[in-house]
Amino acid sequence: MEAVKFAKEGYSLILIGHRDHDEVIGTLGEAPLVTQVVGSPGEVESLTVPDPERVAYLTQTTLSLDEARDTIAALRRKFPKITGPAAQDICLCHREPPAGGETRGVRR
């Protein structure tokens, strides 16, 4: 898991997601001593880390890019050297609209 990898490499980890989501709870449990959870861009300003040059972020995989984009931008402003997950780690179903213009969760 990427959280463990970042922790072993000495990074502070910022996890973007919903605190009560099973995935966030599980990921937080993988590296609890170095992980902080943020759910919105407004929460980024209050973050403190031991070394602002060794910060990484992960996102809850069920978040859409639109949901995470502003928070990632806020993290990049606060921690310019922040590193993140490989692009392929973000679920395709949240990067691309469904074929045929269907809306998620809506039957036609």
Distance separating alpha carbons of residues 20 and 4, to the nearest angstrom: 20
Q: Is 23 a catalytic residue?
A: yes
Q: How many helices (H) and strands (E) does the chain have?
A: 3, 3
User: Which of 2, 23, 30, 43 is an active site residue?
Assistant: 23
Positions marked catalytic: 23
